[in-house]
Structure 1
Amino acid sequence: MLKISKAIIAVIIICISSYLLITKEFELMPYLMLLLAIFMLVTGLVEYQRNRKGFWGYLSIVVSLFILFVSIHGFFFN
């Protein structure tokens, strides 16, 4: 289930980032950051489920929380 959602989110991220690079309109950047935060959270959860409770799983979860904070900041202050 998490692998499928991770693949779907990755495709959406690639589509949005391609659109942003081609059009050079960065109005969708907070949405992209939100999707990146969700992607990193899912990556951390997949690592945690594989019983790899080491450095990379926790780092992915911490990075996702930071990206989530940046995306919320982008929604409210831009």
Structure 2
Amino acid sequence: MRLIKFILALTVVLLSGYSLITGEYGSLPYTQMLLGLMLLVMGMSEMQENRKVIAILLYLAGSFSLFVSVYILFI
């Protein structure tokens, strides 16, 4: 879980930095999708540590982020 969180976080930071430096904002929906996946993975790890309230909040935030990114990409 820790490695997956690290890879997702690094990818989000790199894509965000690329968008910020170049002014190209076409990659932002993909960045948001990866951020949503990262929040879901964080929710899974929090659920394993029996922090259910934080896990549920992370699931909700991740699901909303994924919904918005898919909405932006396909509609």
Give the TM-score, by structure 1 length: 0.92
- Which letter does structure 1 place at the counterpart of 2:63? L
Runs of 4+ in structure 1 off by over 2 angstroms are none
Q: Which ranges of structure 1 fall in alignment gaps of 5 or more residues?
A: none
Q: Hey, what's the Cα distance between the residues in 2 that align with 1:24 and 1:56?
A: 34
* Cα deviations by residue, 1:22-50 (Å, 9 ceiling, x for unpaired): 01110001100110110000010010011
Q: How many residues align?
A: 75
Give the TM-score, by structure 2 length: 0.96
Q: Which ranges of structure 2 fall in alignment gaps of 5 or more residues?
A: none
CA RMSD of aligned residues (A): 0.7
Partner of 1:69: 67
